[in-house]
């Protein structure tokens, strides 16, 4: 068996290794060019008479970001932004739809807009780990850095503190707001607006950045059609008007360029992160009275209807990264070094002299050429004319094509023939746009050998687990067949993009089948008279409610579900809170029983008397009424605090869920410090765990002294403590799910499944609960609302852990519940059984030892005689053996799933959906593998299993 | 013919009656092979209409399907309580009915039970199957007719022949649900249709945007295909095997 342990350990070590190797190949670290760009020599200076860069047209910038400002919010016929529309008609504003690439979340979008580069997908992770210094842009070349480096450059910033994190110590004055409560539609914006009048009078800054979050919050809360949406647009429009009129009237602002844009859009559900047309189509408007100069002959109709899929394409569509080089040209600074954007053609008309226009574009192209050169070091990007007829004929791969297009620029710049300037500009645009497309496409960025290596390591891990489990796998059972079917089907479905998006359907579907299987399996042994109320049928019925709780995935996102139904919201929130209260009560009662048991023990004075009773090796002191009262008294404050925290948190985070609650109560909870209360809950949980752990350990030690076996009561106690933690990290509308989970545990104990069945049930329910709690394989479904519970500053470790717990709460719950089922610990020996429901005791009277014995009789029939007379040490050893098998099977699935996901990402790396479907899935697979499997199933599971053997 | 993983020889299980045999005459032997072809052809013929508008099309299809199933039962299968006739060699004389006119006997002994099975499965099995479909994830607040019709189709496919041969004896049905009966053509129909309907749910979430992905087309299709496969496999390859769980 030592060999098996070694193989399991190795397989589990290989899982993170595989993930890491694959990730570095899939999300290669993009080296960026350090330092600020300067105006460099272009060549052809004499020919075109260039002595300096083209004269800047503006000297100040107001950059107003409205989070999630989708194109139609500004340009559409239902928009509330009438002033902006009047500017468009008037010719003082040029509108665009700025294409935002996936992932459409704020931090990577700010990076794209400020550096002009296309942020790597790793920025998603960094977005959630915002304080990570390697993700700051302090060392990178951005238009902020360029403006700051100018003579007298001074920046001010108001709004989303993402900017303060990305640009530490950049701003002379700043006031950051964080999107802590999504329900905050007004405060978060008023905190920005209140600085505006004052800053418009200040003459010292050359760039003012504002980032409004309210509109995004409205989207998250109630979608783009929320009744709050138009008033918010009108509010934003008013601010635009205020600023624009200051630019018109104040002398010191007369050369100010005013940019209004969204960082990303939103889908019909009001969320973002993916690449639906709504999410990738934010608005972008350049405004200034001076713009009239170039809009004379333009179409200036507004409002208009959108084109394209979903109708989100208004006016000209440009790339979001084009903002950086355009600002560079208009404000007269060098294009940031890592820029992949192209100067927007419309603004060329500011310069009357064609040679100025050519110079602008050439500077842009030359800067991009440096990146291209670094990417294709073997190709020729010289500024000398050479003969390219041979290498540039026929179809070209991306690198050679770029090299040929660059040579085209060199030739057309060099020629002495009289050419229309348009020809030169077209040639430059031809190169720049091709470079933008090729460099932003991902294909050239994969490190395929690493992808293959990572997948192979996962495959080795799978193989090792298979070898280790092989002796036990050779005897075929129907459960084994069902498990194999699950893994095989899962592996296949990972290659279908729609099943990655709709993964929950797979788990819901196979789990329904599994419960029906359990029904048939049990019916073969014994026919249940009221078969409609058979425990397995009840499991199926509860499963049906659970899968309906939260609508998740892409295809039916936003379809009706229980958690958003009128049944639990608005005036009916009392129903929700009764269910939530019942869940808290259930856990509090359970905890109080654990405590009562521990009090009974510690007050019985070392139970010296007990040990004298002959044959009483497993006897524990009975808990009296007094103990139970004391236990309740000790736990009640914790339960109540946890409940009050949930109420107070929800009152701020989702006020629509507390409408039915009495006003007096709300006033009380709203006065509370959330951080303080959350800390009280966490400390209370830690204290309970340590107290119970200590007593249980002593109890087990005493019993062993008397020759009995260990207690085993700590595992269920720990489970209940962890459940309370999980509920604290769960949104209020999902908390009743834990009641349903508890019911499922109860019905599972009635079934008393075999160990292999328990393992498979655990695997299925961990996944079902993950999706039932509203998660999916999309970035936009990550729940961040509980990530700052009890955290006042920013601690990446604490916040990361809380994010993981709140999103993987279901899997954590079921991993541990599965262990309790496995050990039969829900009905541990002796008085511990009293801790539990009497129904549960009656239902599953089998002790852990008995079940284990039965299990061993099945596995090693030859040992069946000895099994009845096992020594404690042997029981102990066997216990760990069965845990090892459980974890081994879970490892087998995990490694198999990783092989499938990595295989899909490798094979389909050119697939249209690679960035929108498969990459997020890989991120989730990383979290499942490292957090869900190693962290929870192996580590936390090991702790709880060990706790059961104290 | 080797035993597969989940199936073992009869000898291992507890003593139970033998699998149902097709009636021992030429017509029965031929029609039993034609029948699944006819059923699948009927479905193939109606498929376009079912996809276009499931409720009326599925309703209309019920009648020919019912007729076919009655015909199948009456022509090929021994009616309930007549095992003696089938397995005459093993249980001679038992429950043998007094001689009647040939036509009258055919009507009393075959067609009436067949109609009865149809009625029972429609009235009793369909609601149970509909509830099962809902437990398995069928829409609960909408599409009630769709689900009911899907259940009706499954019950006609799977349950009619079973009731015809086994009757409504509770003990018998307990064994049927618990997969304790030996596999035969009729039991194969049930297992095939039910598994087929379950597997039929797999294509629904795919983003192919096909009309036929809508509820309950794939489920019904799965049931029909499963019916044919189950009948074929149950009547040949796995005949007489018992499903083994451990
Ligand atoms: Zn947002």
User: A509 to chain B: which residues are within 8 Å by CB?
Assistant: 136-137, 198, 201-202
State both tokens at A768. Answer: 């079902």
**Mutation site, B136, B195, B213, interface A, largest A CB count within 10 A:** B136
pLDDT at B125 over 70: yes
- Contact predicate A157/A163, CB 8 Å: yes
Residue A220 confidence (pLDDT) above 70:
yes
Model confidence at A834, in pLDDT bands (50, 70, 90)? very low
If one compares A608 and A338, the residue with the highest pLDDT of the two is: A338
Q: Do B137 and A524 touch (CB under 8 A)?
A: no
| Residue-wise pLDDT tens digits, B37-72 | 999 999 999 999 999 999 999 999 999 999 999 889
Rounded to whole angstroms, how far apart are CA atoms A581 and A639? 10
ipTM confidence score = 0.87
What pLDDT score does A171 carry?
93
Confidence of residue A567 (pLDDT cuts 50, 70, 90): confident
- The whole-number pLDDT of residue B1 equals 32
Q: Provide the β-strand partners of residue B144.
A: none
Element (H, E) at A550: none
Q: Which two tokens stand for residue B70?
A: 């009655």
| Mean pLDDT comparison of A270-274, A634-638, A874-878, highest-scoring range | A634-638
CA gap A489, A510 in Å, rounded = 10
Chain A residues close to B178, C-beta within 8 Å: 520, 523-524, 527
Antiparallel, parallel or unpaired: β A60-66 and A207-212: parallel
| Average pLDDT score over residue span A578-584 | 93
State how far the alpha carbon of A463 is from the alpha carbons of A233, A457, A605, in Å: 57, 10, 54
Q: Which residue of B has its CA nearest to A516?
A: B136
Q: Return the percentage of chain B with pLDDT > 90, whole number.
A: 36
CB < 8 Å to A499, chain B: 205-206
User: What is the DSSP secondary-structure string of B3-47?
Assistant: --TTEE-GGGS---PPPPPPPSSHHHHHHHHHHHHHHHHHHHHHH
| B149 contacts B216 by C-beta, under 8 angstroms | yes
B38 at A interface, C-beta within 8 A: no
- pLDDT above 80: residue B92: no
A131 and A168 Cβ atoms separated by less than 8 Å: no
> Quick one: which H or E segment has residue A95?
strand A93-99
Chain B positions in Cβ-Cβ contact with residue A513 (cut-off 8 Å)? 136, 198
| Residue with more model confidence, A891 or A840 | A891
List the single best residue of B142, B187, B195, B207 to mutate versus A (max A Cβ within 10 A): B207
The count of residues in chain A is 950
Residue ranges in A526-572 assigned as alpha helix (H): 535-549
Cβ–Cβ below 8 Å for A505 and B205: yes
Residues A370-413 have pLDDT tens digits of 888 887 888 878 777 777 767 776 666 677 888 888 888 888 88
Tell me the pLDDT band of B102, cut-offs 50, 70 and 90.
low
| Average pLDDT along chain A | 83
Kindly state the tokens that stand for A755: 């160990």
The closest alpha carbon to A779, from A282, A272, A280, belongs to: A272
Chain B residues within an 8 Å CB radius of A478: 5-6, 244-246
**Residues on A contacting B at a C-beta cutoff of 8 Å:** 476-478, 481, 496-499, 501-502, 505, 508-509, 512-513, 516, 520-521, 523-524, 527, 531, 537, 540-541, 544, 547-548, 553, 555, 560
- CB-nearest to A524 from B6, B136, B178 is B178
**Which segment, A376-380, A826-830, B79-83, B154-158, is predicted with the most confidence on average?**
B154-158
In the stretch 120-149 of chain B, residues with CB closer than 8 A to chain A read 134-137, 140-141
- Helices and strands, number each (H, E), in chain A: 38, 8
Name the residue facing A520 among B135, B177, B205 (closest C-beta): B177
pLDDT at A40 over 90: no
Question: Which residues of chain A does B5 touch, with a Cβ-Cβ cutoff of 8 Å?
Answer: 476, 478, 481
Residues of chain A found within 8 Å of residue B141, distances taken between Cβ atoms: 560
Contacts of A496 in chain B (CB under 8 A): 206
Smallest CA–CA distance, residue A817 to chain B, in Å, is 24
Interface test with B, best of A509, A530, A562, A911 (most B CBs within 10 A): A509
Q: Which residues of chain A does B135 touch, with a Cβ-Cβ cutoff of 8 Å? A: 512, 537, 540-541, 544
Q: From the list A476, A520, A541, which residue is nearest B178 (CB)?
A: A520
pLDDT of residue A855: 41
Question: What per-residue string of b and e applies to A789-808 under the rule 16 or more CB within 10 Å gives b?
Answer: bbbeeeeeebbebbbbbbbb
**Strand stretches in A417-481, DSSP E:** none
Tens-place pLDDT, residues A282-300: 999 999 999 988 888 788 8
Name the closest residue on chain B to residue A522, using Cα atoms: B178
- Distances in whole angstroms, Cα of residue A312 to Cα of each of A101, A103, A276: 15, 18, 10
The predicted-structure confidence for A166-193, as pLDDT tens digits, reads as follows 888 889 999 988 776 777 788 889 999 9
Q: B178 vs A540: CB contact, 8 Å cut-off? A: no
Beta bridge partners, A95, equal A285
- For the ranges A216-230, A248-262, A756-770, B103-117, the lowest mean pLDDT is seen at B103-117
Taking an 8 Å cut-off on Cβ atoms, the answer to whether A496 and B206 are in contact is yes
- The structure tokens 């030690």 sit at A701
Average pLDDT, chain B: 81
Distance between CA atoms of A345 and A298, rounded to whole angstroms? 13
Tokens of B145: 């007719």
Give the other-Cβ count within 10 Å of A699's Cβ.
25
Give pLDDT, residue B105: 63
Nearest beta carbon to residue B180 from set A476, A524, A531: A524
Q: How far is CA A15 from CA A21, A113, A459, B141, in A?
A: 10, 37, 9, 43
Between CA B121 and CA B100 the distance in angstroms is 29
Q: With contact defined as beta carbons under 8 Å apart, do A283 and A99 qualify? A: no
Q: Which of B135, B179, B206 sits opposite A520 (nearest CB)?
A: B179
* pLDDT tens profile A55-99: 889 999 999 999 999 999 999 998 999 999 999 999 999 999 999
Distance CA A360, CA A335 (A): 10
Which phi and psi angles does A383 have, rounded to 5°?
Answer: -95, 20
Contact flag B205-A548 (C-beta cutoff 8 Å): no
Q: Which of residues 196-225 of B touch A (CB under 8 A)?
A: 198, 201-202, 204-208
Cα gap A400→A379, rounded to integer Å:
7
In the predicted structure, residue A252 carries a pLDDT above the cut 50: yes
Q: What structural domains and CATH numbers belong to chain A?
A: 29-55+354-445 (no CATH), 56-103+142-350 (3.40.720.10)
Task: Provide the Cα torsion A757, A758, A760, A761; round to 10°.
Answer: 110
């Amino acid at each position: 068996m030592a060999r098996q342990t070694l193989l399991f350990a190795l397989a589990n070590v290989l899982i993170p290794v595989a993930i890491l190797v694959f990730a570095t190949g899939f999300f290669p670290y993009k080296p960026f060019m350090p330092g600020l760009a300067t105006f460099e020599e272009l060549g052809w200076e004499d020919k075109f008479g260039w002595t300096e860069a083209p004269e800047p047209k503006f000297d100040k910038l107001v950059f107003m970001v409205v989070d999630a400002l989708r194109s139609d919010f500004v340009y559409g016929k239902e928009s509330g932004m009438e002033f902006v529309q009047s500017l468009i008609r008037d010719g003082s504003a040029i509108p665009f739809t700025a294409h935002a690439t996936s992932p459409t979340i704020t931090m990577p979008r700010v990076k794209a807009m400020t550096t002009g580069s296309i942020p790597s997908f790793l920025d998603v992770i960094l977005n959630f780990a915002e304080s990570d210094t390697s993700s700051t842009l302090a060392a990178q070349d951005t238009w902020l850095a360029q403006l700051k480096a100018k003579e007298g450059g001074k920046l001010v910033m108001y709004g989303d503190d993402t900017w303060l994190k990305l640009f530490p110590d950049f701003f002379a004055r700043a006031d950051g707001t964080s999107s802590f409560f999504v329900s905050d539609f007004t405060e978060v914006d008023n905190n920005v607006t209140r600085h505006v009048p004052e800053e418009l009078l200040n003459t010292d800054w050359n760039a003012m950045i504002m980032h409004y979050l309210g509109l995004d919050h409205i989207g998250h809360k109630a979608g783009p059609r929320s009744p709050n949406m138009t008033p918010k647009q009108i509010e934003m429009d008013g601010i635009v008007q205020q600023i624009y009129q200051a630019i018109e009237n104040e002398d010191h602002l007369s050369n100010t360029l005013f940019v209004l844009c969204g960082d990303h859009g939103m889908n019909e559900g009001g969320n973002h992160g993916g690449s639906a047309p709504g999410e990738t189509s934010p608005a972008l408007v350049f405004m200034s009275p001076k713009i009239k100069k170039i809009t004379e002959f333009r179409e200036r109709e507004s409002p208009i209807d959108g084109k394209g899929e979903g109708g989100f394409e208004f006016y000209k569509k440009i790339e979001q990264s084009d903002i950086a080089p355009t600002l560079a040209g208009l404000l007269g600074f060098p294009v940031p070094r890592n820029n992949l954007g192209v100067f927007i053609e419309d603004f060329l008309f500011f310069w009357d002299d064609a040679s100025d226009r050519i110079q602008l574009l050439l500077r842009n192209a030359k800067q991009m050429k440096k990146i291209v050169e670094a990417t294709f070091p073997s190709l020729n990007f010289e500024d000398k004319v050479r003969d390219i007829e041979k290498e540039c004929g026929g179809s070209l791969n991306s690198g050679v094509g770029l090299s040929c297009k660059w040579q085209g620029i060199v030739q057309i710049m060099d020629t002495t023939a009289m050419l229309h300037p348009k020809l030169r500009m077209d040639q430059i645009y031809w190169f720049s746009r091709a470079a933008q497309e090729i460099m932003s496409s991902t294909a050239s960025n994969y490190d395929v050998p690493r992808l293959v290596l990572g997948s192979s390591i996962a495959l080795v891990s799978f193989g090792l687990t298979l070898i280790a489990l092989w002796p036990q796998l050779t005897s075929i059972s129907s459960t084994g067949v069902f498990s194999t079917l699950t893994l095989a089907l899962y592996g296949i479905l990972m290659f279908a993009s729609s099943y990655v998006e709709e993964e929950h359907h797979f788990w819901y579907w196979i789990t329904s089948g599994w419960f029906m299987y359990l029904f048939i399996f049990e019916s073969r042994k014994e026919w249940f008279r009221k078969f409609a109320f058979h425990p397995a049928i009840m499991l199926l019925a509860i499963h049906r409610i659970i899968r309906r709780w939260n609508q998740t995935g892409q295809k039916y996102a936003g379809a009706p579900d229980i958690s958003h139904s009128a049944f639990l919201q608005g005036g009916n929130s009392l129903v929700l809170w009764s269910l939530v209260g019942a869940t808290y009560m259930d856990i509090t009662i359970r905890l109080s029983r654990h405590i009562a048991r521990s009090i009974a023990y510690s007050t019985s004075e070392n139970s010296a008397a007990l040990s004298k009773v002959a044959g009483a090796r497993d006897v524990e002191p009975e808990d009296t009424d007094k103990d139970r009262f004391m236990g309740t008294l000790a736990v009640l404050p914790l339960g109540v605090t946890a409940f009050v925290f949930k109420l107070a948190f929800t009152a701020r985070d989702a006020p629509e869920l507390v409408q039915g609650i009495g006003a007096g109560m709300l006033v009380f909870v709203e006065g509370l410090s959330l951080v303080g209360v959350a800390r009280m809950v966490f400390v209370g949980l830690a204290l309970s765990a340590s107290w119970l752990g200590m007593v249980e350990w002593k109890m087990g030690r005493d019993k062993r002294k008397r020759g009995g076996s260990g207690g085993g009561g700590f595992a269920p106690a720990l489970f209940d403590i962890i459940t309370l933690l999980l509920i604290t990290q769960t949104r209020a509308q999902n908390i009743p799910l834990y009641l349903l989970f508890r019911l499922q545990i109860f019905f599972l104990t009635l079934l008393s499944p075999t160990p292999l069945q328990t393992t498979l049930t655990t695997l299925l329910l961990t996944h079902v609960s993950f999706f039932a709690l509203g998660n999916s394989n999309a970035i936009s479904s990550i729940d961040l609302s509980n990530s700052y519970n009890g955290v006042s500053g920013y601690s990446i470790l604490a916040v990361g852990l809380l994010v993981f717990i709140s999103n993987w709460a279901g899997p954590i719950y079921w991993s541990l519940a599965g262990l309790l089922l496995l050990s039969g610990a829900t009905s541990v020996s002796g008085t511990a059984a009293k801790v539990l429901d009497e129904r549960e005791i009656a239902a599953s009277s089998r002790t852990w030892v008995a079940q284990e014995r039965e299990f061993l009789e099945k596995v090693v029939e030859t040992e069946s005689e000895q099994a009845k007379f096992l020594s404690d040490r042997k029981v102990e050893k066997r216990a760990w053996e069965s845990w090892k098998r459980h974890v081994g099977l879970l490892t087998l699935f995990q490694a198999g799933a990783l092989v499938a996901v990595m295989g899909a990402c490798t094979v389909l790396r050119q697939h249209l959906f690679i960035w929108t479907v498969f990459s997020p899935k890989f991120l989730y697979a990383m979290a499942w593998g490292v957090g869900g499997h190693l962290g929870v199933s192996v580590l936390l599971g090991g702790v709880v299993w060990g706790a059961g053997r104290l | 013919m080797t035993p597969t993983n989940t199936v073992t020889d009869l000898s291992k299980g507890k003593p139970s009656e033998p699998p149902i045999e097709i009636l021992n005459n030429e017509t029965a032997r031929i029609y039993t092979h034609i029948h699944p072809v006819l059923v699948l052809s009927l479905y193939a013929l109606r498929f376009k209409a079912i996809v276009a508008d499931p409720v009326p099309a599925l309703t209309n299809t019920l009648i020919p399907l019912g007729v076919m199933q009655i015909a199948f039962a009456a022509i090929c299968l021994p009616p309930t309580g007549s095992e003696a006739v089938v397995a005459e060699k093993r249980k001679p004389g038992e429950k043998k009915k007094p001689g009647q006119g040939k036509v009258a006997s055919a009507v009393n002994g075959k067609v009436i039970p067949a109609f009865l099975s149809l009625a029972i499965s429609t009235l009793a099995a369909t609601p149970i199957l509909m509830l099962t479909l809902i437990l398995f994830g069928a829409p609960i607040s909408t599409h009630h007719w769709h689900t009911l019709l899907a259940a009706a189709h499954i019950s006609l496919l799977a349950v009619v022949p079973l009731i015809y041969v086994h009757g409504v004896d509770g003990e018998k049905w307990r064994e049927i649900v618990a997969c304790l009966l030996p596999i035969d053509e009729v039991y194969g129909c049930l297992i095939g249709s039910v598994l087929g309907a379950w597997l039929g749910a797999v294509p629904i979430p795919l983003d192919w945007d096909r009309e036929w992905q809508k509820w309950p087309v794939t489920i019904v299709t799965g049931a029909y295909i499963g019916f044919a496969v189950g009948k074929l496999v149950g009547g040949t390859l796995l005949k007489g095997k018992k499903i083994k769980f451990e």
